Each structure stands twice: as structure tokens, then as C-alpha cells.
Amino acid sequence: MLQGKEVLLGVTGGIAAYKSVLLLRELIKEGANVHVIMTKSAQNFVAPLTFQTLSGNQVTTEIFTLFSSSKIGHISLADRADLLVIAPATANIIGKIANGIADDFLTTMVMATRVPVLFAPAMNTNMWASPVVQANISRLKSMGYNFMEPAEGELACGTTGRGKLADVDEIMEDIKTLLSPNDLAGEKILITAGPTEEAIDPVRCITNRSSGKMGYNLAMVARRRGAEVTLISGPSCLPVPCGLPTIHCTTALEMERIIHENLDNATMVIMAAAVADFRPAEKSEKKIKRLGDHCLDLEPNPDILAGLGKIKGKRFLVGFAAETNDLVANAREKINRKNLDMIVANNVSTCGAGFCCDTNIIKIIDRDGTIYDFPQMSKEQVAEVILDHVVASRKKDGKEQ
């Protein structure tokens, strides 16, 4: 996700400095080229060699470090970066930057750079709550600097409260948001995910193998790109994306009701959920016993997406087609029958595509029948590709109107 991105990681002197090693590893895993800048006191907590070995780049610790082509170090780094993240950010560094002090490499770099700067503060709870720190943060925010809220919990100093460095996953999410285009700003998107479950009796149900990963990734990526997202999730073991409005449901009928309750302002619906097409005609209130003759009567669930297609208006509708055969023919038939703008088709019986994997192999088919083929990608990358396509179609629609 961060392939080709240049990230500057500023590390300041707090016990949470060891967690920035984990952050560095995540950044590298996602493809970023990372340059680490350490303050003098940060070097009391973690050795520069750790960051140097993991990043494969020289760690900057001195203000007068010169880089190649005789450019002043901080200017050279500040010019070619995409983002600067300071994690952990102490009360001291926040105070210095808020008041224009540039007396070491990191503070000078912050003054010199024009790229987005993200602070992930970590400090004692009382320091965090102090009016001085809060005033400095407000001042920096008003100037366009980005801040993460520290987490609550047990702190290294023995107290409990707010002040822990935010989770590495959350810092990564904010970094990705700052590096994403804001091309879905203004869109209000309902995204469904996961399977539905239709009860047979209190212990058994009809469901399918959908994990929810595709829908959850779409929701996260759409939010990063500026959309207002509501995730409507069937039963899934995945953690709820931090701060993302999520409504849980179990059955197809519940999912349909929740969608309609939230439809008024939605400009787009992406149905990534694998909705059960049938439900037991009757649910037994007691567990059905083994002995005896059994026959399961089914009745159809509503086709939620086809229902949305009937009242579509200007809303953009994206469907998924989970197929095991005749992929393109079946997907095209679904676009027409359900009145969709776009369908994402995948062969769920192919290795590396479909329900429980972390990857998917998709084809996107437009309303006019054009097919776009994609290789195997992570579901996060697939979400990017789908949303790229949505943005392009929206632009085209806008021009045609």
C-alpha cells in the first residue's frame, strides 16, 4: 500500500520509543522507504543501530549531518518525503515546535518540510491533560498539523489513564489516510460485508463462508479517501475498524431493514455481503432432536440489491458476483437484472480468490459491458482498485450529465 512512498519517522525520548521500531517494520512491510530521525534523548531508549538495520537507511541524529549532493541534510530529506510522522511525540517536542524552536535535526526538519506532519503523542497522563500541552496541540492543529489521540491504559510510570502511544495499527491507518487521495469526499457510502445467518433452531443456521474481509477493507479504504462510510456487517470475527460507524446484523431481513433505514442520504451502496438467498420457512424454538424424520422447508429471502436497483435514482450501485462458473455471463446478467452501475466478479472456487483468503482475483464489469481484468492482489489493494474505478465512473457520469 505504501510502495514508492518516502516516510520520515521522527523518534523522540519517551519509553514508547521501542514501539516506533514496530511502526518502522509495518511501514517497511507495506513498501515505504523510511528515514529515521532521532532526538538526543530518544537515543537513551533505543539505539540508532536498531532503526538503521531495519530501515536500511542511515539514521539522522545530528543537526549537521550532510547528505549526498552537498544539500543540507534536513532540506534534502524534507524535500523528497511524502510524510513525516513523529512517534512517540513527547510534550517537549510538541512544545518546541508549537513555539518555533528549531534546535535539533527533527525540529528543524518540521520547520523545513511542506509535507503532512502527523504527531502520535505519548506521555504521562497528567502531562497530557496539562493546559500547556493542550494549548500547544490546539495551536499546532490550527496550523494544519495532524494529531492522534493517545490511548488509555496502564502507563510505564505506574499510573493509569490517557497517554499511551496509539496502537501501531491506528498510526498506520492515519498514515495511509494522509497519503490517500481525497477523491471520495462528499460521498456517503453504505457498505455491506460478511455473510448473513438464518436460524434453523437455537444452535443451527444456514450461512456461508464469507469472512467479511472484502467489505471491511472497502470500508477502511473508502474512509481514507474521504467518504463518509457506514459499514453494515453480518456476523464476522473481524475487529470493528476503529472509529468507523458500524451496524451489526444477523439475517438478510435485518440487513435489508438497516440498509433502508440508512438509505436516505446515501450517494452510493456497495453490496459486498454474501446474503443468504433462502431462510428456513420456520425457526424451531427448541433444538431439533436427532431422532425422527426431518425435512427443511426453505423460503426465499429478498434480493436486497435488486430492490435497491428499483429505487436507484442517482445513487451509484455496486454489486459483487460470487461465481463458480460462467463468471462473465452470470455477472453481466446480474448487472442488468439488478440495475447496477458496476459489478465486481470473482470465481470463488479459484485458489487465492473468494471467501476466506486475504487475497482476491477480480474482474470489474461496467454497465456498458466493458470488462477489466486484475491479477491476484491483497483485499486492501482490491478495495483501492474498485474505488479507483468508482471514482472514474463518477467523473464520467458527471461529465455526461
Task: Report whether 11 contacts 46 (CB < 8 A).
Answer: yes
| Partners of 33 in beta bridges | 6
To ligand CTP, the closest distance from the beta carbon of 358 in angstroms equals: 20
Pairs from 324-327 (Cβ < 8 Å, separation ≥ 24): 324/348, 324/349, 327/363
Task: Kindly tell me which residue out of 277, 315, 366, 376 binds ligand CTP, with binding defined by CB under 6 A.
Answer: 277
The question of whether 237 is a catalytic residue gets the answer no
Q: Does 16 bind ligand CTP (CB under 6 A)?
A: no
Which residue is associated with the grid cell 459489478?
Answer: 343
Q: Does 322 bind ligand CTP (CB under 6 A)?
A: yes
User: Is the Cβ of residue 10 or residue 234 nearer to ligand CTP in the bound state?
Assistant: 234
Distance in angstroms (rounded) separating the CA atoms of residues 81 and 87 = 16
Burial-class residue 355 by CB neighbours within 10 Å (0-12, 13-18, 19+). middle
Choose the binding region for ligand CTP from 16-24, 135-143, 299-307, 385-393 (rule: CB under 6 A). 299-307
To ligand CTP, the closest distance from the beta carbon of 308 in angstroms equals: 8
Choose the binding region for ligand CTP from 59-67, 88-96, 100-108, 319-327 (rule: CB under 6 A). 319-327
Residues of span 162-191 touching ligand CTP by CB under 6 A: none
How far apart, in Å, are the Cα atoms of 177 and each of 80, 146, 151, 167?
19, 11, 19, 15
Q: Cell numbers at residue 400, please?
A: 455526461
Q: Cell numbers at residue 312, please?
A: 436507484
Q: Does 279 bind ligand CTP (CB under 6 A)?
A: no
Q: Does 366 bind ligand CTP (CB under 6 A)?
A: no
User: Is the Cβ of residue 37 or residue 271 nearer to ligand CTP in the bound state?
Assistant: 271
Distance in angstroms (rounded) separating the CA atoms of residues 244 and 240 = 7
Residues of span 215-274 touching ligand CTP by CB under 6 A: 252, 271, 273
Task: Kindly tell me which residue out of 36, 42, 304, 387 binds ligand CTP, with binding defined by CB under 6 A.
Answer: 304
Q: Residues, the chain, total?
A: 401
Q: Does 27 bind ligand CTP (CB under 6 A)?
A: no
Distance in angstroms (rounded) separating the CA atoms of residues 243 and 50 = 33
Q: Does 386 bind ligand CTP (CB under 6 A)?
A: no
User: Is the Cβ of residue 2 or residue 322 nearer to ligand CTP in the bound state?
Assistant: 322
Q: Which of 173, 175, 120, 126 is nearest to 148 (CA)?
A: 120
Query: What residues are labeled active site?
Result: 157
Q: Which residues sit at the interface with ligand CTP, rule CB under 6 A? A: 252, 271, 273, 275, 277, 301, 303-305, 319-322, 334
